[in-house]
Structure 1
Amino acid sequence: MTRYEFVARAHAEGYSPPKEVTFAPSTRSEPHTHDQLSFVYVVAGTFILNTDRAAPAYQPGETCLLDANVAHAEEAGPQGATILVARKSGRVAETG
């Protein structure tokens, strides 16, 4: 996926306008949660999303979804990471 495609998809699916976030090399945030669904696109570097279930590493052009209220820590690879993140109310697998 390209940056343009990510922004277009986020808009079409009702997410907030994406915000760019940069992480310094080899850093990791404290565990925390967000009260909204997060749609993430990796612009540069390696972005690692640590949860109690896994710690997948995402590369430029890859995306991931993180449900609201899931404890996680964001981590950057040795070259750092830059991501775009868009958020909205809801869950990945809503049932109706």
Structure 2
Amino acid sequence: MERDEFIDALKREGFAEVVTVMRDPNGTLDDHAHPFEAKALVLHGELTIRTAAAENLYKTGDVFHLQANESHSERFGPDGVQYLVGRK
């Protein structure tokens, strides 16, 4: 999915806040949760997200979706990761 197409889809789905997040190579974030729903498009690099249900690898062009208060951990690839995320 292309960036502009993704932003339009976020707006249609009610994601009012859209930000770009950058994470360092080979970094991690331990289990945590956000008080908002998040839907993101990976712009560069890769990350692995582990939830109670599964562990998934996301690469450039992939979209991931986390519900509000969904506990998860994150592991970033050797080039780090940059993603565009909508929050609501």
- Could you say whether these structures have the same fold, taking a TM-score greater than 0.5 normalized by the shorter chain as the test? yes
Query: How far did 1:53 drift?
Result: 2.0
Q: Which residue of 1 aligns with 2:4?
A: 4
* Distance (Å, rounded) in 2 between the aligned partners of 1:30 and 1:49: 10
Sequence identity percentage: 32
Q: Which residue of 1 aligns with 2:61?
A: 61
Structure 1 regions of 5+ residues with no counterpart? 89-96
* Residue 47 in structure 1 maps to residue 47 in structure 2: yes
Q: Which residue of 2 aligns with 1:35?
A: 35
The one-letter amino acid paired with 2:55 is A
* Distance (Å, rounded) in 2 between the aligned partners of 1:2 and 1:47: 18
Q: Which residue of 2 aligns with 1:79?
A: 79
The one-letter amino acid paired with 1:39 is K
The count of corresponding residues between Structure 1 and Structure 2 is 88
Q: Over aligned residue pairs, what C-alpha RMSD do you find?
A: 1.1
The one-letter amino acid paired with 1:81 is V
Residues 40, 85 of structure 1: 8 Å contact kept: yes
Instruction: Please identify the structure whose Cα radius of gyration is greater.
Output: 1
Query: How far did 1:75 drift?
Result: 1.8
Structure 2 regions of 5+ residues with no counterpart? none
Q: Deviations over 1:13-64 (max 9, x none)?
A: 1102311111111111121111121101100001211212222011111101
* Residue 23 in structure 1 maps to residue 23 in structure 2: yes
Greater strand share, 1 or 2? Answer: 2
* Distance (Å, rounded) in 1 between the aligned partners of 2:55 and 2:26: 14
Q: Which residue of 2 aligns with 1:13?
A: 13
